[in-house]
């Protein structure tokens, strides 16, 4: 795997290897004398900090750039940005609005035979580094056991998509509850069903019933701000609160990629409850980035 644009760029076995490498003590400094370019078209707290920390821990230097100073497709094309960054950096992490931008960047790097791998740090379509951290978190609580049920309540968005693909790939059961107009498309639902056991509904209580993991994310993602008022109305009744958690399994955990919008997709008491593992999840962002860089550098766990 040269580029990491969606979680299914890794097979089930490879995901397990990345997770194993994420917890390796004294990992080799595979990035020593290397730099990693990190470009952000949208704000970030966890992704930027976890990536920068992981690069440093592996001996490398992260070079972060934010929206205005790069101007992808404004100051110059995404292709020219990618080819330029590839001449300095071993990896290029990018947080972009359109997923197609990442595909163009990867193609541009490949077209000049450069080695730099493109890593998706969130696009409108996918958030695979988040999904790795989510799987690491679920694994630390339950193990990635066949039949474990993960309920996603809210918008069928980038985070929901990568989480669903990742969980299904690992043999977990997934139930997604969104208002009907925010469901994944029919062709996508069909494709997800081909990976594993996933169900779709418009009833949060039904989706959360007996779940081991209840996961939510914002109703209005970055780039959708003009829809905010409409979405607040459409998602009424989809808040993960104590009533909804009562439908889940007795030992259920609550997950959220963060940032959280208190009182919208999640209530403060649930976010702060003993069931909430959101801070562990946030820290796992850094551990899995280390695991991912190790894996992409050809390191494999000792069997
Ligand atoms: N979960 C996540 O990606 O957080 P940031 O947007 O703060 O990076
Ligand atoms: N779905 C959210 C995730 C933020 C980490 C967004 O795209 O804004």
The ligand whose atoms approach the alpha carbon of 222 most closely is 2
* CATH code for the domain defined by 129-278: 3.40.50.1370
Helices (H), 58-157: 67-70, 78-86, 99-111, 128-142
What pLDDT, on a 0 to 100 scale, did the predictor assign at position 68?
86
Mean pLDDT of the 189-198 span: 98
Contact 266, 3 (CB under 8 A): no
pLDDT 10s digits, 249-266: 999 999 999 999 999 999
Say if ligand 2 is within 6 A of residue 159 CB.
yes
Beta bridge partners of residue 36, listed in sequence order:
62, 91
Contact 119, 93 (CB under 8 A): yes
* Residue 175 structure tokens: 């139930």
Percent of the chain scoring above 70 in pLDDT: 100
From 122, 154, 160, 281, mutation site for ligand 1 pocket: most ligand atoms within 8 A of C-beta? 122
End-to-end CA distance of the chain: 21
> pLDDT class for 57, splitting at 50, 70, 90?
very high
Please state whether the predicted TM-score (pTM) of the whole model is above 0.85: yes
Contact 159, 220 (CB under 8 A): no
Say if ligand 1 is within 6 A of residue 47 CB.
yes
Mean pLDDT of the 141-159 span: 97
Residue nearest to atom 4 of ligand 1 (CA): 46
**How far does residue 37's CA lie from ligand 2's centre (Å)?**
21
What pLDDT, on a 0 to 100 scale, did the predictor assign at position 98?
98
pLDDT 10s digits, 152-185: 999 999 999 999 999 999 999 999 999 999 999 9
- At 150 the three-state DSSP class reads strand
| Structural domain spans, the chain | 31-126, 129-278
> pLDDT class for 202, splitting at 50, 70, 90?
very high
- In 3D space, the residue among 49, 3, 57 whose CA is nearest the CA of residue 31 turns out to be 57
CA gap 147, 138 in Å, rounded:
13
CA gap 217, 255 in Å, rounded:
9
What pLDDT, on a 0 to 100 scale, did the predictor assign at position 206?
98
* Helices and strands (H, E) in the chain, number of each type: 13, 9
User: Do 129-278 and 31-126 fall under one CATH topology?
Assistant: yes
Q: What are the E-state strand segments in 72-209? A: 91-95, 117-120, 149-153, 173-177, 198-201
Percent of the chain scoring above 90 in pLDDT: 98
Minimum-distance ligand 2 atom for the alpha carbon of 224? 8
Checking if the pLDDT of 303 tops 80, the result is: no
pLDDT 10s digits, 273-300: 999 999 999 999 999 999 999 999 999 9
Pairing of strands 61-66, 149-153: unpaired
* CATH code for the domain defined by 31-126: 3.40.50.1370
What pLDDT, on a 0 to 100 scale, did the predictor assign at position 302?
86
Contact 195, 169 (CB under 8 A): yes
Strand order through the sheet with 173-177: 198-201, 173-177, 149-153, 213-216, 253-256
């Amino acid at each position: 795997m040269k580029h990491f644009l969606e979680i299914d760029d890794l097979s089930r076995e490879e995901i397990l290897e990345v997770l194993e490498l994420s917890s390796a003590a004294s990992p080799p400094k595979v990035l020593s004398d290397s730099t990693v370019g990190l470009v952000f078209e949208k704000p970030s707290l966890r992704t930027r900090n976890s990536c920068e920390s992981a690069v440093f821990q592996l001996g490398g230097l992260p070079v972060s750039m934010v929206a205005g100073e790069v101007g992808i497709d404004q100051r110059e094309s995404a292709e020219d940005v990618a080819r330029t960054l590839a001449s300095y950096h071993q990896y290029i992490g990018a947080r972009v609005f359109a997923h197609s931008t990442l595909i163009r960047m990867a193609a541009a790097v490949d077209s000049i035979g450069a080695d730099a791998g493109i890593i998706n740090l969130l696009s409108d379509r996918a958030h695979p580094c988040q999904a790795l951290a989510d799987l690491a978190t679920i694994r630390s609580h339950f193990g990635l056991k066949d039949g474990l049920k993960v309920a996603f309540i809210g918008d069928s968005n980038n985070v929901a998509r990568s989480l669903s693909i990742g969980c299904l790939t690992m043999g977990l059961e997934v139930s997604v509850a969104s208002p009907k107009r925010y469901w994944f498309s029919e062709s996508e639902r069909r494709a997800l069903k081909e990976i594993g056991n996933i169900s779709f509904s418009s009833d949060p209580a039904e989706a959360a019933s007996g779940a081991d993991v209840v996961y939510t994310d914002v109703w209005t993602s970055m780039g959708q701000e003009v829809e905010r008022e409409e979405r607040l109305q459409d998602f009424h009744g989809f808040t993960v609160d104590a009533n909804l958690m009562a439908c889940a399994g007795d030992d259920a955990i609550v997950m959220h990629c963060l940032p959280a919008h208190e009182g919208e997709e999640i209530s403060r008491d649930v976010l702060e409850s003993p069931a909430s593992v959101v801070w562990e999840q946030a820290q796992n962002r850094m551990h899995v980035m280390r695991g991912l860089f190790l894996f992409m550098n050809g390191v494999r766990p000792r069997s």
